[in-house]
Chains A and B, each alone.
Chain A
Amino acid sequence: MKLIFERSTPGLSCEILPPCDVEAYELKAEQQRGQELRLPEVTEGEISRHYTELESQTFGVNSGYYPLGSCTMKYNPKINEEIAGLPGFADIHPLQPAHTVQGCLEALRLAEKLLCEITGMDYMTFQPAAGAHGEFTGLVLIKKYHESRGDKKRTKIIVPDTAHGTNPASATMAGFTTVSISSGQDGLVDLEALKAAVGEDTAGLMLTNPNTLGLFEKNIVEIAEIVHQAGGLLYYDGANLNPVMGIVRPGDTGFDIVHLNLHKTFSTPHGGGGPGSGPVGCKAFLAKFLPVPRVEEKDGEFYFSGDYENTIGSMKAFYGNFLVVLKALAYILTLGREGIPEAAKSAVLNANYMMKKLEDLYQVAYPGRCMHEFVLTAEPLKKKTGVSALDIAKGLLDNGMHPPTVYFPLIVHEALMVEPTDTESKQSIDEAVKVYRELYEKACTDPEALHQAPVKTAVRRLDEVTAARNPILRYNFD
């Protein structure tokens, strides 16, 4: 494909603006830009064709089966997009006076109320722009909480070895040291290891439940007790809320803080990497530390308030990825009381169904009942045939499917992490199963074919080593 710069012809342009209707003004010479500005010079038709071509080489949620583990690639309803595009939301300036944005504020309050009910939390901020941003926010809350009690020795955050990479990275940003604890034989938090890890320096534990192996941490009450007794707080990484929403509430199981990924659990699209939204909920005793501004209500009127002495400050400008919150709100209103747990159940049913259809061929890393996802290990296959998890993933590409997440969680060798989601049909799962099984056969009979895969895609395997060693990170005009 041509780059947009390669479609450029000097002198071409789109005519967008009328001539300026006031006298021109010129900056002082020393304030003016000297460098050339090499943006594309193209007509609208060329732009349209360019992006149509780019879109044709992009795999969207509706392009095919997309069971990317831990990412919850469920269907993104169209009504949500239309609602977010209403001028009454999209054209509102963030610094309008409160009485002109009552609808925005009410929407935020309503989303807070519904998501607090779903998570079992008391308050929520929508400022965090993504899950990792939510983690960071939650950890700063933990830091502030301990400090407010004069407890300055709590410098450590405990994370299981199955945790998302963002957990330890967020802990570092919040000035904590990460203590990683090994999972038990069953893939769950090892209570003895946890007991050994907690102490007077424990600030908190970050836990994903169900965890990244797709297993529900059934000892969660005991885990919470251990952490709380040591004086730490319990943080819920909401990446995997989808299979338990409406079934189990993190707040009821001892968590003090949660973040949600609205772009996973609540159907808002991923945008090729973002924008997401990572609201953070907390129990009442932590509310005074939440970021500002916060939406308040008095006599039926909503307003923003920044007047909280103990706040951690702000996590970004304004109030978060507002339009994304609206999409999630529309989704919750659509599904409602019955629909939320039904979606959760559908996710769990789909995952268990697919796992059982594959377990005689592929080895399940931690057999048993899974939640929204399951993790296969291609290690035995690799030993037998030389075909790796990556090869299987690339083989799936030739079959028009998005591969599962590979090589994560780190504790499973040759991991294939499969999350079908609630919006996948039995029919499409059956078709996927057929392909997964065929690829297994292929690995046994013709491994070389899978080392070569993909062959049908627009480009084939890339030289990633050279990409990192001699980075070319921008177009070279010369």
Chain B
Amino acid sequence: MGSYIPNSKAEQQKMLDFLGLASFDDLYNEIPDKVKLKGGLNIPAGKSELEVRRQMEALAGKNKVFRTIFRGAGAYRHYIPAIVKAVASKERFVTAYTPYQPEISQGVLQSIFEFQTMICELTGMDTANASVYDGATACAEAITMCVDRKRDEVFVSATLHPDYLRTVKTYCYAAGRKLVVVPEKDGVTDLAFLKENLNEKSAVFLMQQPNFYGIIEDAEACFKVAREAGAKSVMCINPIFAAIGKTPRECGADIAVGEGQPLGISLSFGGPYLGFMACVQELTRRLPGRIVGQTKDIEGKRAFVLTLQAREQHIRREKASSNICSNQALCALTAACYMSTMGPTGLKEVANQCLAKAHYAAKHISSLPGYELVFDAEFFHEFVTRCPVDVNKLMAKLEEEGILGGYPLEGPYEGCILWCFTEMNTKEEIDRLVAILKEGIQE
């Protein structure tokens, strides 16, 4: 059995003696017997480190690690530089608590301040928070920022990632808010519908850029309509795209949110990831969660501290702007280190390579009979094609070659495939994919 208790039995006995107790059981004599567990836990006996490692490695061995991945749909494989992994595994960063004591936590606090700055730079916004759980919850929290007594209806585009949409629905259901899903038309938000349905009760319109299908939408047009109706605008943006694409600010958004996983965080079977949130100055005090600010110590030295805490649950309780307490600080530090490593040129290069490779792949895949592009719209690093063969069979064939193929869509585009290409995919891999698809048609 493994144990991390640093006291010997003899020492523990001394401590019990000091307390005047005969045994460990006496520690619990305030607890009524009728509620105590009888006969112990029905779980396996403890194991040594090596045994645990073997068991967990056996589980890991039952998963398939794909050499080549052409699937995104909300989780993206990008190159993670060695320095990023090294920094993110530094023991104190990994094990510290929320920096409540600023005098001994300047390292964590400054890392968050740097992260906030970088997210502001990426999105063009004025203020960012220290992170929330993921892209989906960032969307849900952004909506809450916009709702008030007069305006409480929420508009969300159907082109949002389905998991995000389902999450937003749950949050709206919980708070008793009316949610209107703006339909998708030709792969993008139905602007006419939005225009017709926004009203004096509408609080917010939220859309994703690029959207779930990879398409770069005309966000400016959508946000203009929202603004004219008096509603706030939220853009959920891919942070890699943000390096080269029009920023949420430039598109007229009031709030920018997104999934920060592409910024140096591994796929991790879906988590932990990183929700980021940034907004225009006027909404700063509506942001949920931790925010780090710069100040001075009593000697005039620059220092950082958790600030604007009057928004938060531990002060405001039921009147707080959100219940969030733990966030994804270590993931935020990872993302900040990634952005520092890539720098402005490097991050744009990642984005441009994604863009180039996706367009190279699209050109060759869509030239195969039956693999036409479903949408005639500009895209970033994902696009949807039809599939002339059984999708499952195609995926199985790709799997034999160590390739995770595109994501088979459900719903209105069942039978179509959402492909994703990043800087990780070489020309050779893409050519090989096209060759396999071609073989599949001929069979």
Contact = CB atoms under 8 A, between A and B. Distances in A.
A114 B43 CA distance: 6
Contact of B378 (A27, A34, A460): A27
Nearest to B380: A27
Interface residues of B, number: 200
A14 B284 CA distance: 34
A73 B92 CA distance: 13
B346 interface: yes
B97 A270 contact: yes
Contact of B29 (A74, A253, A317, A369): A369
Contact of A323 (B112, B121, B271, B404): B271
A463 interface: yes
A160 interface: no
B218 to A, nearest CB: 9
Contacts of B355: 25, 27
The 5 closest A-B pairs by CB, nearest first: A88-B60, A336-B46, A318-B270, A271-B330, A94-B270
29 contacts: A31-B245, A37-B243, A39-B340, A48-B83, A57-B105, A58-B105, A59-B104, A92-B267, A129-B326, A173-B322, A221-B34, A247-B37, A269-B94, A271-B95, A272-B105, A273-B130, A274-B272, A317-B136, A318-B74, A318-B271, A322-B268, A336-B2, A336-B47, A349-B16, A350-B15, A459-B301, A471-B284, A473-B284, A475-B117
A269 B88 CA distance: 13
B103 A457 contact: yes
Contacts of B325: 130-132, 164-166
B108 A58 contact: yes
B298 interface: yes
Contact of B27 (A50, A63, A348): A348
Contacts of B126: 474
B350 A17 contact: yes
Interface in B100-116: 100-108, 110-114, 116
Among B35, B243, B284, B360, chain A packs the most CB atoms within 10 A around the CB of B35
B96 A58 contact: yes
B137 A129 contact: yes
B197 interface: no
B329 A317 contact: no
Contacts of B344: 37-39, 41
B340 A42 contact: yes
A471 B346 CA distance: 31
A310 interface: no
B5 interface: yes
Interface string A422-444: 11111010000000000000000
B356 interface: yes
A383 interface: no
A65 interface: no
B115 to A, nearest CB: 10
Of the candidates A23, A31, A473, the one having the most CB atoms from chain B within 10 angstroms of its own CB is A473
A252 B246 CA distance: 56
A378 interface: no
A135 interface: yes
A275 B301 contact: no
Given A57-B104, A88-B59, 9 more contacts: A4-B114, A33-B245, A42-B343, A61-B96, A86-B56, A96-B64, A252-B37, A273-B329, A348-B27
Contacts of B229: none
A279 B51 CA distance: 26
Contacts of A178: 317-318
B114 A3 contact: yes
A353 B314 CA distance: 29
Interface string B302-328: 010101111011111111101111111
A35 interface: yes
A47 B93 contact: no
A273 B46 contact: no
Of A86, A143, A177, A252, most buried by chain B (CB within 10 Å of CB) is: A86
B114 A5 contact: yes
Interface stretch (B170-178, B184-192, B366-374, B382-390): B170-178
Nearest to B314: A165
A44 B62 contact: no
Contacts of B199: none
